[in-house]
């Protein structure tokens, strides 16, 4: 449900759409919890889409951070769907700047960590602040590479935006493209199932 798309090794012609389009198939794995019965283990076809750009910006002093909650919770940025038939495929890009971004879902649970004890992102630590951190150049706003998927009632995805030392203040500009997808549940054929975009639950990113 959260992925960083690598730079392509080759180009194909005709080009492949980067985002979900009308008629595409998506399937949610069985790992999705019972609390999200509207998607757990189900396959859908995208009936219609609408791309909604949105920019978030924060001026943050050096060696400080702000947690940006993409969910619809109080204080959140309301980038989650409210309809059980809607999937938000959100592309996240960054404007240049002296900042790092750590991902948490839900709050306090690191998305990117290593297996050794203590090898977790920590913005208060001189070296661990770089562990699992995405830099603006990893997903430029002109070529967004971070894809997040959200459905109604999904736990909050938190972006911890940390401004590194070396500047007084930094303006972190997060450029989003929310690809709203209206879903229709289907009983997939084997071919449809194979073609469907697999959307894992975030727990699959941690083992």
- Please report, as ranges, the residues that interact with another protein according to CB under 8 A: 55, 57-61, 63-67, 95, 168-171, 173, 175
Measured from the CB atom, is 105 or 163 closer to another protein? 163
Measured from the CB atom, is 59 or 114 closer to another protein? 59
Smallest separation, CB 171 to another protein (Å): 4
Measured from the CB atom, is 173 or 199 closer to another protein? 173
Smallest separation, CB 136 to another protein (Å): 12
Exposed, middle or buried: residue 202 (CB in 10 Å: 0-12, 13-18, 19+)?
A: buried
CA dihedral of residues 113, 116, 117, 123 (deg, nearest 10): -40
Measured from the CB atom, is 39 or 173 closer to another protein? 173
Smallest separation, CB 158 to another protein (Å): 12
Work out the widest C-alpha separation in the chain, in whole angstroms.
Answer: 57
- Phi, psi of 10, rounded to the nearest 5 degrees: -150, 160
Smallest separation, CB 65 to another protein (Å): 5
Smallest separation, CB 142 to another protein (Å): 12
Smallest separation, CB 173 to another protein (Å): 6
Q: What is the DSSP string of 33-57?
A: -TT-TTTTT-EEEEEEEEEEEEEEE
Measured from the CB atom, is 58 or 193 closer to another protein? 58
Structure tokens at 87: 């999937």
The dihedral sign for the CA sequence 57, 61, 62, 68 = negative
Query: Is residue 70 within 8 Å of residue 81, measured between CB atoms?
Result: no
Task: Provide the 8-state DSSP code for 135.
Answer: P
Measured from the CB atom, is 59 or 194 closer to another protein? 59
Helices (H), 72-170: none
Gap between the Cα atoms of 41 and 55, Å rounded: 32
């Amino acid at each position: 449900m959260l992925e960083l798309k690598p730079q392509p090794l080759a180009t194909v012609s005709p080009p492949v759409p980067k985002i979900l389009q009308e008629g595409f198939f998506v399937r949610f794995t069985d790992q999705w919890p019972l609390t999200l019965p509207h998607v757990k283990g189900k396959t859908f076809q995208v009936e219609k889409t609408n791309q909604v750009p949105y920019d978030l910006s924060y001026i943050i002093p050096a060696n400080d951070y702000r947690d940006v909650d993409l969910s619809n919770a109080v204080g959140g940025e309301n980038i989650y769907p409210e309809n059980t038939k809607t999937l938000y495929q959100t592309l996240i890009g960054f404007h240049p700047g002296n900042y790092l971004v750590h991902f948490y879902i839900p709050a306090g649970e690191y998305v990117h960590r290593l297996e050794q004890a203590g090898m977790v992102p920590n913005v208060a630590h001189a070296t661990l602040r770089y562990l699992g951190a995405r830099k603006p150049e990893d997903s430029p706003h002109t070529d967004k590479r971070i894809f997040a998927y959200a459905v109604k009632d999904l736990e909050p995805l938190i972006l911890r935006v940390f401004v590194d030392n070396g500047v007084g203040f930094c303006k972190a500009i997060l450029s989003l493209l929310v690809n709203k997808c209206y879903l229709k549940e289907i009983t997939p054929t084997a071919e449809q199932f194979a073609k469907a975009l697999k959307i894992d639950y975030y727990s699959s990113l941690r083992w």
